[in-house]
Amino acid sequence: DAGVTQSPTHLIKTRGQHVTLRCSPISGHKSVSWYQQVLGQGPQFIFQYYEKEERGRGNFPDRFSARQFPNYSSELNVNALLLGDSALYLCASSPRFSATADTQYFGPGTRLTVL
Protein backbone atom coordinates (compact mmCIF):
# COMPACT_ATOMS: atom_id res chain seq x y z
CA ASP A 1 0.00 0.00 0.00
CA ALA A 2 1.19 3.50 -0.76
CA GLY A 3 2.27 5.65 2.13
CA VAL A 4 1.65 9.34 2.59
CA THR A 5 2.58 11.28 -0.53
CA GLN A 6 3.48 14.94 -0.78
CA SER A 7 4.10 17.31 -3.65
CA PRO A 8 6.19 19.01 -4.69
CA THR A 9 9.39 17.58 -3.26
CA HIS A 10 11.26 20.84 -3.39
CA LEU A 11 10.16 24.41 -3.92
CA ILE A 12 11.97 27.73 -4.18
CA LYS A 13 10.01 30.95 -3.70
CA THR A 14 10.83 34.58 -3.03
CA ARG A 15 9.67 36.71 -0.14
CA GLY A 16 6.08 37.88 -0.40
CA GLN A 17 4.97 35.06 -2.69
CA HIS A 18 2.31 32.46 -1.98
CA VAL A 19 2.82 28.68 -1.86
CA THR A 20 0.53 25.64 -1.89
CA LEU A 21 1.71 22.27 -0.66
CA ARG A 22 -0.23 19.08 -1.25
CA CYS A 23 -0.65 15.85 0.66
CA SER A 24 -2.42 12.55 0.04
CA PRO A 25 -2.96 10.36 3.10
CA ILE A 26 -2.63 6.62 3.39
CA SER A 27 -5.67 4.93 1.89
CA GLY A 28 -8.36 4.65 4.56
CA HIS A 29 -6.92 7.38 6.75
CA LYS A 30 -9.26 10.29 7.36
CA SER A 31 -7.10 12.63 9.44
CA VAL A 32 -4.27 14.75 8.10
CA SER A 33 -1.86 16.88 10.08
CA TRP A 34 0.78 19.38 8.97
CA TYR A 35 4.09 20.07 10.67
CA GLN A 36 6.90 22.53 10.03
CA GLN A 37 10.47 21.43 10.67
CA VAL A 38 13.18 24.05 10.54
CA LEU A 39 16.76 22.91 10.28
CA GLY A 40 18.09 21.38 13.49
CA GLN A 41 14.72 21.34 15.26
CA GLY A 42 11.91 18.90 15.82
CA PRO A 43 8.70 19.23 13.81
CA GLN A 44 6.19 21.85 15.03
CA PHE A 45 2.46 21.23 14.72
CA ILE A 46 0.59 23.55 12.35
CA PHE A 47 -2.85 22.04 11.65
CA GLN A 48 -4.91 18.91 12.00
CA TYR A 49 -7.92 18.13 9.82
CA TYR A 50 -10.47 15.38 10.10
CA GLU A 51 -13.51 14.89 7.90
CA LYS A 52 -12.76 18.24 6.23
CA GLU A 53 -12.92 20.18 9.48
CA GLU A 54 -10.06 21.83 11.32
CA ARG A 55 -9.57 19.97 14.60
CA GLY A 56 -6.45 21.64 15.86
CA ARG A 57 -4.19 24.57 15.14
CA GLY A 58 -0.69 25.28 16.36
CA ASN A 59 0.90 28.62 17.15
CA PHE A 60 1.30 29.88 13.59
CA PRO A 61 0.21 33.20 12.05
CA ASP A 62 -2.89 33.60 9.92
CA ARG A 63 -0.69 33.54 6.82
CA PHE A 64 -0.89 29.78 7.20
CA SER A 65 -4.10 28.06 6.19
CA ALA A 66 -5.15 24.60 5.13
CA ARG A 67 -8.07 22.59 3.94
CA GLN A 68 -9.06 18.98 3.47
CA PHE A 69 -10.96 17.65 0.50
CA PRO A 70 -13.70 14.99 0.30
CA ASN A 71 -11.09 12.40 -0.72
CA TYR A 72 -9.17 13.29 2.49
CA SER A 73 -6.24 14.85 0.67
CA SER A 74 -5.11 18.19 1.98
CA GLU A 75 -3.47 21.46 1.00
CA LEU A 76 -1.36 23.78 3.10
CA ASN A 77 -1.23 27.38 1.95
CA VAL A 78 1.22 30.00 3.09
CA ASN A 79 0.79 33.65 2.05
CA ALA A 80 3.27 36.51 2.10
CA LEU A 81 6.26 34.22 2.51
CA LEU A 82 9.03 35.24 4.86
CA LEU A 83 12.61 34.01 4.96
CA GLY A 84 11.76 32.26 8.22
CA ASP A 85 9.21 30.08 6.45
CA SER A 86 12.06 28.13 4.89
CA ALA A 87 11.66 24.63 6.28
CA LEU A 88 10.68 21.04 5.63
CA TYR A 89 6.90 20.76 5.67
CA LEU A 90 5.70 17.36 6.74
CA CYS A 91 2.28 15.88 6.29
CA ALA A 92 1.08 13.02 8.48
CA SER A 93 -2.01 10.89 8.28
CA SER A 94 -3.83 8.79 10.85
CA PRO A 95 -6.95 6.66 10.66
CA ARG A 96 -9.16 8.76 12.91
CA PHE A 97 -9.40 11.79 15.11
CA SER A 98 -9.34 9.91 18.37
CA ALA A 99 -8.71 10.45 22.04
CA THR A 100 -6.45 7.43 21.95
CA ALA A 101 -3.88 9.22 19.77
CA ASP A 102 -3.74 7.12 16.65
CA THR A 103 -0.22 6.78 15.33
CA GLN A 104 0.64 9.39 12.73
CA TYR A 105 2.46 8.25 9.61
CA PHE A 106 4.55 10.85 7.85
CA GLY A 107 5.22 11.63 4.24
CA PRO A 108 8.62 12.51 2.76
CA GLY A 109 8.02 16.23 3.15
CA THR A 110 8.28 19.29 0.94
CA ARG A 111 11.47 21.30 1.26
CA LEU A 112 10.56 25.00 0.92
CA THR A 113 13.27 27.57 0.42
CA VAL A 114 12.35 31.25 0.56
CA LEU A 115 14.87 33.67 -0.97
Partner 1 sequence: AQKVTQAQTEISVVEKEDVTLDCVYETRDTTYYLFWYKQPPSGELVFLIRRNSFDEQNEISGRYSWNFQKSTSSFNFTITASQVVDSAVYFCALSEGGYSTLTFGKGTMLLVSP
Residue ranges in 44-73 that form contacts with partner 1 under rule CB under 8 A? 44-45, 48, 55-56, 58
- Nearest in space to 28 (alpha carbons), one of 5, 63, 1, 64: 1
- 3-state helix/strand/coil string of 41-53: CCCEEEEEEECCE
Q: Does 108 bind partner 1 (CB under 8 A)?
A: yes
Q: Does 20 bind partner 1 (CB under 8 A)?
A: no
Dihedral of CA atoms 72, 26, 2, 67 in degrees, nearest 10, equals: 40
Q: Does 101 bind partner 1 (CB under 8 A)?
A: yes
Per-residue DSSP letters for 72-95? S-EEEEE-S--GGG-EEEEEEEES
**Which of 24, 31, 68, 74 is in the footprint of partner 1 by CB under 8 A?**
31
User: Minimum distance between the CB of residue 80 and partner 1, rounded to whole angstroms?
Assistant: 26
The contact set with partner 1 (CB under 8 A) reads 31, 33, 35, 40-45, 48, 55-56, 58, 88, 90, 92, 94, 97-109, 111
